[in-house]
């Protein structure tokens, strides 16, 4: 059932380097479907259990963590901070500096 997109998306996620973050749309784009950002979400939910997936390096296009507090927000934020990613006073990441830029 896994479409090519799904597989490629997973590869892309695994390829995100430490200390960098990627947006859902970006991943979808690199996987071949610029509009399938939502699908990426489902992937993370399905595969987050499977270790080896840096789900914490995926954030929304605004550079903020989408997870609700107490449901991973703090956890993701902590992991990113441990990798050197900085959150500003508004709890946003400066994508200009931390967004993963492939190529």
45 binds DNA (CB under 7 A): yes
99 binds DNA (CB under 7 A): no
80 binds DNA (CB under 7 A): no
The nearest distance, CB 65 to DNA, in angstroms, is: 7
35 binds DNA (CB under 7 A): yes
Question: How far apart (Å, rounded) are the C-alpha atoms in residues 60 and 74?
Answer: 15
Q: Which two tokens stand for residue 66?
A: 């989408």
Q: Does 25 bind DNA (CB under 7 A)?
A: yes
Contact (CB, 8 A) for 61 and 20: no
């Amino acid at each position: 059932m896994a479409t090519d997109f799904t597989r490629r998306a997973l590869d892309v996620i695994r390829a995100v380097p430490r200390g960098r973050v990627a947006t859902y749309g970006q991943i979808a784009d690199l996987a071949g479907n610029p509009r399938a950002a939502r699908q990426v979400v489902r992937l993370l939910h399905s595969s987050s259990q499977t270790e080896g997936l840096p789900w914490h390096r995926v954030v929304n296009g605004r550079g903020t963590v989408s997870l609700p507090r107490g449901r991973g927000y703090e956890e993701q934020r902590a992991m990113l901070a441990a990798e050197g990613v900085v959150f500003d006073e508004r709890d946003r990441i400066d994508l200009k500096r931390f967004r993963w830029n492939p190529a």
